[in-house]
């Protein structure tokens, strides 16, 4: 029975990943800030699937958060097999108008916490000869610059590049790394990222469950980059077909419409 650590499991894609893993009989450690949502999920998964679920209430934006999570898991004698770095948020506005402290929090969560957790678990797995799996949730925004979402897209470009590089570095260590790249998905992300909720609720968009099911399958297979959806796949190749400037301009026009400008 494999145990998965999922950050950002209190809603959206992370919550659906937790449900899928529990359905498959796996135990869980779920991390986020909203204790009530995590506890509700824990009780429902324990009742329905008979799995063990440990809740860690932790703000991953604070310094040393990754170490605190790792230490709590170690002190409970839990061995993690799958690390899913999913927690993240964006900020849909012009960078010059953004709040520096919110920018710092975004970089801390989307990049630093992810990197530090990955380092802690990779080191532990190699030392203990554990065949681990990592899923880092990036975005289709990782494939080109995205004006009006500039910093967020840059954090996700980091996640994509970091995951692809690490996946090759760890080839001989029996550890796989998957960068899951969703496009727009119906979750709380829009509300948390300064976006127009009507667009984010559009009926054509995939659900968090669709994206999680796709990502989980790719993580199990050990695929290094997994872009969800045919249109998103086509969009992410546009950078190869058109000059970078054009791809970025088009992405920026889309994000301009998606914001509350
Ligand atoms: N939805 C989309 O359109 C979309 C598209 C591409 C990529 N993504 C990526 O998908 C991932 C999941 O997002 P989602 O769409 O499922 O959005 P969501 O519903 O807003 O979920 C975000 C999760 O991250 C957690 N989180 C946020 N800040 C945190 C913090 N400081 N410390 C710990 N946990 C924190 C939230 O829990 P608490 O609030 O309880 O802490 C929540 O569980 C993110 O990395 C996002 O960038 C989303």
Task: Give the mean pLDDT per block of 10 residues along the chain (261 residues).
Answer: 97 98 98 98 98 98 97 98 98 96 98 98 98 98 96 98 98 97 96 86 92 98 97 88 90 86 59
**H or E stretch at 3:** strand 3-7
Q: What distance lies between CA 250 and its chain's CA centroid?
A: 24
Task: Output the CA 67–ligand 1 centroid distance in Å.
Answer: 20
Q: Domain 3-258 has what CATH class? A: alpha beta
Q: Which atom of ligand 1 is nearest to the CA of 33?
A: 41
The yes-or-no answer on residue 152 being catalytic is yes
Ligand 1 atom index nearest CA of 184: 3
Query: In the Cβ-directed half-sphere of 183, how many Cα atoms lie within 13 Å?
Result: 20
Would you say 77 and 29 are in contact if contact means Cβ atoms under 8 Å apart? Answer: no
Of all protein residues, the one whose alpha carbon is nearest to atom 7 of ligand 1 is 139
Ligand 1: centre distance to CA 87 (Å): 4
Per-residue pLDDT at 203: 83
What spacing in Å lies between the alpha carbon of 63 and ligand 1's midpoint? 19
Residues 6+ apart with CB under 8 A from 196: 190, 257, 258, 259, 260
| Ligand 1 atom 36: residue of nearest CA | 8
Q: Provide the residue ranges of all domains of the chain, joining segments of one domain with +.
A: 3-258
Residue 3 to residue 119: CA distance in whole angstroms: 18
Q: What is the pLDDT of residue 140?
A: 97
Percent of the chain that is helix, strand, coil (3-state, to 5): 55, 15, 30
CA–CA distance, 18 with 226 (Å, rounded to integer): 18
Question: Ligand 1: residues whose CB is within 6 Å?
Answer: 7-14, 32-34, 37, 59-61, 86-89, 109, 137, 139, 182, 184-185, 187-189, 192, 208
Q: How far apart are CA 203 and CA 117, in angstroms?
A: 35
Closest ligand 1 atom to the C-alpha of 182? 6
User: Which pLDDT score is estimated for 261?
Assistant: 59
| Length reported for the chain | 261
Question: What pLDDT is attached to residue 189?
Answer: 95
Q: Phi, psi at residue 176, to the nearest 5°?
A: -105, 150
156 Cα–ligand 1 center, Å = 13
């Amino acid at each position: 029975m494999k145990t998965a650590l999922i950050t950002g499991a209190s809603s959206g894609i992370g919550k659906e990943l937790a449900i899928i893993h529990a359905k498959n009989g796996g135990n869980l450690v779920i991390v986020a800030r909203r204790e009530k949502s995590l506890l509700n999920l824990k009780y429902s998964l324990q009742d329905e699937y008979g799995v063990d679920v440990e809740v860690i209430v932790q703000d991953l934006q604070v310094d040393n958060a990754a170490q605190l999570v790792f230490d709590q898991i170690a002190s409970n004698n839990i061995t993690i097999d799958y690390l899913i770095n999913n927690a993240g948020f964006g900020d849909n506005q012009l960078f010059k108008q953004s709040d520096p402290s919110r920018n710092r929090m975004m970089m801390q969560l989307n990049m630093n916490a992810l990197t530090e957790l990955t380092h802690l678990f990779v080191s532990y797995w190699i030392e203990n000869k554990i065949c681990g799996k990592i899923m880092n949730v990036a975005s289709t925004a990782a494939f080109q610059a995205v004006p009006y979402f500039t910093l967020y897209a840059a954090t996700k470009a980091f996640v994509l590049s970091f995951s692809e590089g690490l996946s090759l570095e760890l080839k001989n260590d029996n550890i796989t790394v998957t960068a899951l790249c969703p496009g727009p998905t119906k979750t709380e992300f829009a509300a948390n990222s300064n976006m127009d909720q009507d667009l984010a609720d559009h009926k054509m968009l995939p659900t968090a469950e669709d994206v999680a099911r796709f990502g989980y399958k790719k993580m199990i297979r050990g695929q290094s980059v997994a872009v969800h959806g045919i249109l998103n796949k086509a969009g992410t190749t546009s950078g190869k077909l058109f000059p970078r400037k054009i791809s970025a301009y088009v992405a920026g026009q889309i994000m301009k419409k998606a914001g509350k400008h």
